[in-house]
A and B are shown apart, each in its own frame.
Chain A
Amino acid sequence: MSEQETQKVLTPETSVEAPKTKSKEDRLRQDRPSLGDWLELRLGWWGFVRKNLDEPMPAGVGWWQTLGNLLLTLMVFQFTTGIALAIYYSAGPETAHASVKFINEGVQFWGINWGLAVRGLHVYGSAAIVVATVLHIIRVFYWGSYKKPRELTWVLGVFIFFVILGLSFTGYLLPWDQKAYWATVVGTNMAKDVPVLGTAIQQMLLGGPEVGAATLSRFYALHVMVLPAALIVLMGLHLYLVRKHHIAGPVVPQKGKPKPFYPDQLYKDAWVVLGGVAIIIWLAVVYPPGLEGVADPTGVDFTPKPEWYYLGLYELLKIMPKELKIVGTVVIPGVISLGMILLPWLDRSKSRHPAMRPGIIIAGTFIILMIGFMTMKGVLEGGGGHEESESTEISSPEASV
C-alpha cells in the first residue's frame, strides 16, 4: 500500500464511513487509540501472547507436562529472592558470614523475620529446582521426546541442568560458614583430577592456592552474573525450540484433537506451580536455613558433607579404591554428562516407545536407580558437621587394615 493510501486510512473522513463494527485493524489505526491498542500496534505483544496461549497440546498431554512451567516459576523466585539477598549480602571473608547472619536475624517487623523468609525461599527454591529438573529430564527420557527434530531442545536442557548444578555449588560457599568452606574445599579438589587441565581448572576456580578471599569473589561473580546470564540465554533458546517444535505428546498417540494450551493445560500448570510454591514456603517457615560458625581453615573437627543432591557422588567416592580415584571424580560423572548430551544420537531407534529401545532404557534406568540409591545411602548415613558420626566410622574400610 502506498503512503497516500496509508494516509487515507488514517483520516477521520474514512473512519466516519467505516462500518459500525470496527475491525481490529481499524481500532488500532484510529486517531486516539487506547493505550493497549497503541502498544499493540508497536509491540505486537498480544499476538505473541495469543500464539502461546493457543499452542496446540496433543491429546494425552497433562500433568507430566507441567514441570517446565513449574521450573520457569521457580526460576523467577530464585532471581527475585537472589536480588533481594544481594542487596544485603557482602562478598568478603570478613563480611560474608556477618552479612548472612544479619539476613537471618536483622530484618524483623510485624512478627515476621523477612530476611530468613527470603533466604529460606532461595535455599529451598534451589533444591526444588533440582528436583523438578530431574523429574523433567526423567519424563523426557522415558517419553523419548528428545528425538528428531527435538535433539537440540534436549541438549540445551542438559546444559541448563549443568548451569543449575553450578549455581547450587557456587551459592553454597557464599554464607562463608564451616559447611560452605569445607564443601568447597572438597568440591574444588575434585576438579584437580581432570587430566592435563585439572590443576589449572582448580586454580581458576580458587583464584589462588587455597579457598580464600579470591575464591569467594569468584564464586559470587559466577553465582550472580555469569551463570544467571548463561541460564537466561539457554532458557530463552530452550523455550523458543519448545514452541517451534511443539510438545511431543504421548509415546502412543491418543485419540482426540489437540487442545489449545489455554485454559486446560495452563489450569493444570497453575495447580502444580501453586503446589511447588506452597512446599518451598512451608519448608522455609518450618525449617529455616541455619548458619554454622564462620569458616575456619584450621578446623580439624569439622566433617564436610555436601548438599543432598551431591551425596550420590560423595558416596561413590567412598567406595572407589585408591587406584580408581579418577573414575569416581572424573570418569563416571564425565561419562554420564557426555552420555546425557549425546543421548539423541546414542539412541538410534526411530521409535519413541520405551519397549522399542530397550538398550537405552535399561542403561538410563540403571544410572537413575544407582544415583537414587547412592543419594539415599548418603542421606540415611547422616554424618557431617561438628560431631563425627558413628556410621561414618563404621563405613570406613577398617576391616582391610
Chain B
Amino acid sequence: MSETKQVKVDQSPESQDRRKFLGGAIGLINAAIGIAIFGPVLGFVGGPIFQKRKKIWVEVIEEAELEMGAAQEVTYSMQVQDGYRKIMRRYSIFMKRSAGGVTAFDPACPHLGCRVKYQGDKERYFCPCHGGVFDEEGNVVAGPPPEPLKQYATKVEDGMIYIEKEV
C-alpha cells in the first residue's frame, strides 16, 4: 500500500522560470561547497610541489682522508627537513681526488634512481637495476640512462671538502 500521493505541480511559465533560476543557483552553491572542500585539501596536499629549494655548501670529508686516484664511496650526514621532522640524514657519494681537484658524483642512477656501484678494475660506474654504465667522468657509455651521473660542485676550505647541494 503506497502512501505516495500525486502532488500537483505548478506548471505555469513563471514557475518554470523560477525553477530554472533556483536550479542554477543550487548548482552554483554546490560548486562553491565543492571548492570549499577540495580547495584547501588540494593546496595542503600539493604543498611539496611549491616548496622552495636553496643551494647550500655541505661538509663531506677531510681532504687528507681521501686517497689520490681511484673514486671512493664516502658517507656524510647533513641536517634535512624530512617531512615533519628535522633529522641528520646520512648520504653516500662517490669522490675522486686528483691533481686537478676533487670530483663528486651522486650515486643515484639518473635512469630511475637505483644506486650505482663503482667498479675500480673496470674504471666505471655500473647500475645493477637496468644495466646502465658510466665512465669515470660520469658519462653514459651503455644502457638506458638518459643523462650522465649528477656531479656536485666542490670546494676545499681549511682542508675540508664541501659539496654544493640543493635542499
Contacts and interface: CB of A to CB of B under 8 A. Distances in A.
B117 A186 contact: no
Interface in A198-225: 199-200, 203-204, 206-209, 212-217
A21 interface: no
Interface stretch (A31-39, A96-104, A315-323, A360-368): A315-323
A41 B89 CA distance: 64
B82 A396 contact: no
B145 to A, nearest CB: 6
A17 interface: no
Given A208-B82, A320-B144, A325-B144, A297 B89 contact: yes
A178 B145 CA distance: 23
Contacts of B124: 401
Contacts of A395: 131
B130 to A, nearest CB: 4
A300 B108 CA distance: 9
A208 B131 CA distance: 28
Contacts of B81: 208
A186 to B, nearest CB: 5
B7 interface: no
Given A186-B112, A213-B84, A298-B90, A303 B142 contact: no
B12 interface: no
B83 A207 contact: yes
Interface in A376-401: 383, 388-389, 392-393, 395-398, 400-401
A1 interface: yes
B144 A318 contact: yes
B155 interface: no
A401 B91 contact: no
A189 B112 contact: yes
Contacts of B130: 314, 317-318
B129 A207 contact: no
B82 A93 contact: yes
Contact of B114 (A298, A303, A325, A400): A303
B143 A322 contact: yes
A393 B128 contact: yes
Contacts of B142: 396-398, 400-401
Contacts of B90: 296-298
Contacts of B15: none
B163 interface: no
Interface in A1-24: 1, 5-6
A172 interface: no
Interface string B98-118: 000000000100011111110
A396 B144 contact: no
Given A182-B114, A185-B114, A392 B128 contact: yes
A298 B91 contact: yes
Given A203-B49, A212-B83, A396 B131 contact: yes
B48 A303 contact: no
For chain A, what secondary structure do more than half of its interface residues adopt (helix, strand, loop), or is it mixed?
helix
A273 to B, nearest CB: 38
Interface string A144-179: 000000000000000000000000000000000000
Interface string A299-324: 11111100000000010011111110
A136 B103 CA distance: 54
A301 B118 CA distance: 11
A108 B62 CA distance: 50
Most chain B CB within 10 A, of A182, A322, A323, is at A322
B83 to A, nearest CB: 3
B133 A303 contact: no
A374 interface: no
B128 A388 contact: yes
A297 B49 contact: no
A132 interface: no
B23 interface: no
A190 interface: yes
B9 interface: no
Contacts of A296: 90
Highest count of chain A CB atoms <10 Å: which of B112, B141, B143, B146: B112
The 8 residue pairs across chains A and B that have the minimum distance between CB atoms: A214-B83, A396-B131, A213-B83, A1-B1, A189-B113, A212-B82, A298-B92, A300-B115
Interface of A: 1, 5-6, 93, 182, 185-186, 188-190, 199-200, 203-204, 206-209, 212-217, 296-304, 314, 317-323, 325, 328-329, 383, 388-389, 392-393, 395-398, 400-401
12 contacts: A186-B112, A214-B84, A297-B90, A300-B115, A300-B116, A301-B117, A321-B144, A322-B143, A325-B111, A388-B117, A397-B142, A398-B142
Interface of B: 1-2, 45-46, 48-49, 51, 53, 73, 75, 81-85, 89-92, 107, 111-117, 124, 126, 128-131, 133, 140-146, 166-167
